[in-house]
Amino acid sequence: MKKNILLLLAVFICSIMGFAQEKKEVIIKAGTVVPLEAISNVRASQVHEGQNIDFKVSRDVIVDKIVAIPAGTIAKGIVYEAKRSSWFGTKGRLGIKLRYLTLSSGDNVNFSSSEVYITGKNRTPLSVVIFCFTCLPLPCGSKAEMKIGYEFDASVANNTTITLE
C-alpha cells in the first residue's frame, strides 16, 4: 500500500514538473526581421483605405534556437492608400501598413513602420503627347497590384515576451 502511494506521489510530482517545463517564455527583440508573404492578390482599384489585408509568415523565426514565430502564422495589415490608375497616365498606388500578428498562444507581436508600397508606371508624358496630336487621352498609368506570393520583411516594434507551449 505504501509503495502505491509513493508511486502515485512520484508520478504526480513528475507530471507537475513536466507541465512546468512545457511552457517557456521567449523574448522576441525589437528589430527582429519577420519574413512575410502575400496570400491574395490585392489591386488598388479593388480595395479601399482602412481595409484589412492578411499575410502569412513565410519562414520560421527562430530565437535562442527555438521557433518563436512558426511559418504560416497570419499577420494583419491595413490599407492606407489605394489609388487606381486613371486617364492622362496617372499611375496606380497601393500602400499597406503591417500592424501585428497573433501567435497560437494568444500573444501579439507588433510591427514597426513596416509597409508595402506598390506603384504602377507613370505614363503622363506619353498621354500628353498623344492627347496633343489626337485629342484622345488614351493611355492610362499602369495598375498597382500586389500578387500572391509577394515577399517582404517586417520588423518587430518592441521587445515582446511570448509564451511557448
pLDDT at residue 36 above 70? yes
* Residue 113: predicted pLDDT: 77
For a pLDDT cut of 90, what percent of the chain falls above it? 45
User: What does the CA dihedral 66, 68, 74, 78 come to, rounded to 10 degrees?
Assistant: -150
Stated pTM of the model: 0.70
The per-residue pLDDT for range 45-66, each reduced to its tens digit, is 899 999 999 999 999 999 989 9
pLDDT, mean over the chain: 80
pLDDT number for residue 120: 65
